[in-house]
Chains A and B, each alone.
Chain A
Amino acid sequence: MRKLKRHLPATVRTLLGAIFIYAALLKIADPVAFAGSVAAYKILPYFASYLTAAVLPFVELSCGLLLVLGYRVKGGALLIGVMNLVFMIALGAAIVRGLDIDCGCFKQGGSKTTPWTALLRDAVFFAMTVFVLKAESNRTKQTSPQQF
């Protein structure tokens, strides 16, 4: 049990990072399709959809890599948390407006993931992010000289 407790933070951090790297690579492979997925939310204008499709996957990739490598975890995890919140707001807006769209979160143009499923999944990712941030702040506290 103690062993599990010791390794859990690193496991969750690596897993979360790996999920974001995977999601990013799928989008980088097909930016046009991802731009279509972004446009389907009907939130951003034409060019902004393409700009988001060009930039967002690279932010996801950077954060994912930082988490997996365990380097600058706080910054990476905070950014992942912010992205997750933005995704959840966009999905919520899609649900409220009754848009029948694919979330476009992972594989583009594959099997459809409804906004509700995606929202639930993002909530899990968000919880993982909070856990990673908490673990990170505990770790830095432990290594600081104020520790009893």
Chain B
Amino acid sequence: MKKNWLGTIAEICLIVVISATAGILWNRTLLTSAWRGETAGQAQAAPAGEELPMPLGLMQIKEMFDAKQAVIVDARSSVDFAEGHIAGSLTLPLEEARKNPASPFKVKLPADATVIVYCNGFSCHDSMDLGKILMHAGYATVYVYEGGFPEWRDAGYPVAKGGA
């Protein structure tokens, strides 16, 4: 019985070793660039390997909001947007942007516009994902507001409802 178990454990180890070797060899270019700390996948036409949107905090966003320096984009669903959003923001749910990543906006927005993307706060990654799509679409200055709608609302800054 003990021998049986030892055999099974050896079998499992063998499966893992063979698979790991195959996986490492298959992805060797990707792993080498990741090991060097380069943004991954640059050599391939893979969707990643891009510059990441810069995260910004509440105060900086508020300053840009007051100075009307940026276009603020809501990455959440249109239902969430209708329930409440940062005043003056545009709705662009991540799912919709994914359907048309080359020109995600319905309205015309110049490529040199400063864009701030937000969603539902620190635990939400949709804003970062949407930010990446926008950078791929040619927008050079994209920021992610990581505090998102909850932080903005709780700070008592201007919000609006409806208009999805």
Contact A50 B19 (CB under 8 A): no
Closest to B49 in A: A32
Q: In the assembled complex, which residues on chain B have CB atoms less than 8 Å from the CB atom of A78?
A: 8, 12
Binary B-proximity of A70-112 (CB < 8 A = 1, otherwise 0): 0010111011000000000000000001111100000001011
Does B15 count as interface, using CB distance less than 8 angstroms? yes
Does A25 count as interface, using CB distance less than 8 angstroms? no
Does B11 count as interface, using CB distance less than 8 angstroms? yes
Does A61 count as interface, using CB distance less than 8 angstroms? yes
Contact A98 B123 (CB under 8 A): yes
Given contacts A32-B46, A54-B24, A56-B23, contact A99 B123 (CB under 8 A): yes
Does B136 count as interface, using CB distance less than 8 angstroms? no
Q: In the assembled complex, which residues on chain A have CB atoms less than 8 Å from the CB atom of B157?
A: none
Binary A-proximity of B40-55 (CB < 8 A = 1, otherwise 0): 1100101111000000
Contact A62 B15 (CB under 8 A): yes
Q: In the assembled complex, which residues on chain A have CB atoms less than 8 Å from the CB atom of B41?
A: 32
Closest to A100 in B: B124
Contact B15 A32 (CB under 8 A): no
Binary A-proximity of B94-130 (CB < 8 A = 1, otherwise 0): 0100100000000000000000000010011110000
Q: In the assembled complex, which residues on chain A have CB atoms less than 8 Å from the CB atom of B8?
A: 74-75, 78
Q: In the assembled complex, which residues on chain B have CB atoms less than 8 Å from the CB atom of A35?
A: 30, 34, 40, 48
Does A119 count as interface, using CB distance less than 8 angstroms? no
Bound CA span A61–B23, Å: 10
Does A51 count as interface, using CB distance less than 8 angstroms? yes
Bound CA span A139–B67, Å: 74
Bound CA span A72–B122, Å: 45
Q: In the assembled complex, which residues on chain B have CB atoms less than 8 Å from the CB atom of A54?
A: 23-24, 26-27, 30-31
Chain A, range 91-144, C-beta contacts under 8 Å to B: 97-101, 109, 111-112
Contact A61 B30 (CB under 8 A): no
Does B64 count as interface, using CB distance less than 8 angstroms? no
Contact B48 A32 (CB under 8 A): yes
Closest to A39 in B: B125
Give me 25 A-to-B residue pairs in the complex whose CB atoms sit less than 8 angstroms apart, sorted by A's number: A30-B46, A32-B41, A33-B46, A35-B34, A40-B125, A50-B27, A50-B30, A50-B40, A51-B24, A51-B31, A51-B34, A54-B23, A55-B19, A56-B23, A58-B23, A59-B15, A62-B22, A66-B15, A74-B11, A76-B15, A79-B12, A99-B123, A100-B120, A109-B47, A111-B95
Given A74-B8, A78-B12, 6 other A-B residues pairs in contact with their CB atoms under 8 A: A36-B48, A50-B27, A59-B16, A75-B12, A75-B14, A100-B126
